[in-house]
Amino acid sequence: MTFGVTVCCMVLAMVMSFDVRVYGEKQVPCIFIFGDSLADNGNNNALVTKAKANYQPYGVDFPAGATGRFSNGRNAVDIIGELLGFNESIKPFPIANGRDILNGVNYASGAAGIRDETGLQQGDRISMNRQLQNHETVVIGISKVLGNTSATTSSSSYLSKCMYLVGMGNNDYVNNYYMPQFYTTSLQYTPHQYATLLIQQFSHQLRTLYKLGARKIAVNGLGQIGCTPKELATYGKNGSECVQFINDEVQLFNDKLKLLVDELNSNLTNANFIYVNTSGIQSTDPALTGFRVVDTPCCEVGSNDDLGTCLPLKSPCPNRSEYVFWDAIHPTEALNIITATRSYKSLSPYDAYPIDISTLAQL
């Protein structure tokens, strides 16, 4: 699906002007981030895992260099934070302490998934369930920082005003369902059954987040996994621009997730969940948004492994703003800008449902 030329040109103008960063007043007091390598900003650095990005050329365009972000520059959640008025990135869980946690915490972990076993073949990772456990620890810490007098009331009020960005499920396909050499899920479940199972587990996790005080929750749908260089190298194009069966099967999850958002909003008091249509946003015609290379990584990746990450210390492409993909899985900062800006402020009625992040922040 390709959106109109007018929308595409507006996005291109955003990309070209986004280096001028103007931070206004914070629209929410804090941001809590749950997710995988698309949002990881250092949580995996000290883990025993292959899923790491704390080495060059990662971070070549990020001021602090290779921090653990799986990109050449900022992640989409970094940019959303800026749009929400935060002049510093939300700190990863291992180094967030003291009053830092009042600004929020990033719990995202490369290779993590909704299911606990997802990503096991890469080593340690912090699954969604473990991220929620870490958040529970932080919630207790926030109560202590805010003071002991009526701490429960004050902390719950504070947490209800924060923004919660949740993006999970990519690895449950990439590092689980589509890896039958390591996992049995594709043998146990049809694509419809697996999507249903994931949504059931994710629903329980999102309800746990709600019980921990979250009221403004933006949940990302999965991207076009079948368009990544990794999956193209594995399955081939077969006359299509992407691996269509993968995108079709992942869309089953997205469709059910949008329905889950409605269910949670109907059944949980004062809950405000929104669905961010990542796949739809990223399906905009790449040529109309300034991209020239859509199926090749900007950095050099290994050819004999399933990681899809950059080889250490190899020089990346010089024209990074023209590439959709940084490595064989993760987007460049240029695509992250588009995803973040349209998640924050919809340019199409299909970008977010029922409202976008900017409107959610005002509730």
- pLDDT tens per residue across span 71-85: 999 999 999 999 999
> What type of residue sits at position 125?
R
Question: Maximum distance among all alpha carbons in the chain?
Answer: 65
Q: How far is CA 20 from CA 15, 79, 83, 318, 358, in A?
A: 10, 12, 12, 21, 19
> Which candidate in 36, 40, 172, 327 is catalytic?
327
Cα within 13 Å of Cα(264), Cβ side: 30
> Which candidate in 78, 172, 279, 330 is catalytic?
330
Angle of the 76-83 helix axis to the 333-344 helix axis, nearest 10: 40
pLDDT classification of 13: cutoffs 50, 70, 90: very low
For the record, the structure tokens of 329 come out as: 């899985």
Q: Tell me whether the omega of the peptide bond preceding residue 229 falls within 30 degrees of 0, making it cis.
A: no
- Residue 262, pLDDT above cutoff 60: yes
154 is catalytic: no
Q: Rounded mean pLDDT of 75-100?
A: 97
> Which candidate in 36, 37, 40, 356 is catalytic?
37
Instruction: Report the C-alpha gap between 363 and 360 in whole angstroms.
Output: 5
- Residue 47, pLDDT above cutoff 80: yes
- Residue 308, pLDDT above cutoff 50: yes
What is residue 304's predicted lDDT score, i.e. its pLDDT?
63
pLDDT digits (tens, 9 = 90+) for 322-336: 999 999 999 999 999
Q: Rounded mean pLDDT of 273-283?
A: 96
pLDDT classification of 305: cutoffs 50, 70, 90: low
Least confident of 20-24, 131-135, 204-208: 20-24
pLDDT classification of 239: cutoffs 50, 70, 90: confident
Give the neighbor-by-neighbor strand order of the sheet with 272-276. Answer: 104-106, 31-35, 163-167, 216-220, 272-276, 352-353
Instruction: Report the C-alpha gap between 123 and 51 in whole angstroms.
Output: 8
Question: Distance from first CA to last CA of the chain, Å, rounded?
Answer: 31
What is residue 16's predicted lDDT score, i.e. its pLDDT?
42
Contact criterion met (CB below 8 Å) for 32 and 312: no
Return mean pLDDT, the chain: 92
With a CB cutoff of 8 Å and minimum separation 6, the contacts of 332 are: 71, 72, 73, 298, 320, 321, 323, 324, 325, 326
With a CB cutoff of 8 Å and minimum separation 6, the contacts of 210 are: 217, 264, 268, 271
pLDDT classification of 307: cutoffs 50, 70, 90: confident
204 is catalytic: no
- Residue 18, pLDDT above cutoff 80: no
192 is catalytic: no
Angle of the 151-161 helix axis to the 128-146 helix axis, nearest 10: 130
What is residue 176's predicted lDDT score, i.e. its pLDDT?
98
Contact criterion met (CB below 8 Å) for 333 and 72: yes
For the record, the structure tokens of 223 come out as: 């991207």
